[in-house]
Amino acid sequence: MHEHLAHAEADLLSFGVRIDSSRDAAQLRWLMARASERDIRLAAAGLCARRAPSPQQVIAELGLERRARRRNEAVPLALAQARARKRQQGWREAT
- Residue type at 38? R
Lowest mean pLDDT among 5-9, 17-21, 26-30, 71-75: 5-9
Give CA–CA dist 16/42, Å, rounded: 9
36-71: buried (b, 16+ CB within 10 Å) or exposed (e) per residue? eeeebbbbbeebeeeebbbbbbbbebbeeeeeeeee
Predicted model pTM: 0.48
Going by C-alpha positions, the residue among 21, 22, 63, 20 that lies closest to residue 40 is 63
Q: What is the mean pLDDT of residues 63-82?
A: 70
Position 67 pLDDT exceeds 70: no
- Long-range contacts of residues 56-60, Cβ cutoff 8 Å, at least 24 apart: 56/27, 58/17, 58/28, 58/31, 59/27, 59/30, 59/31
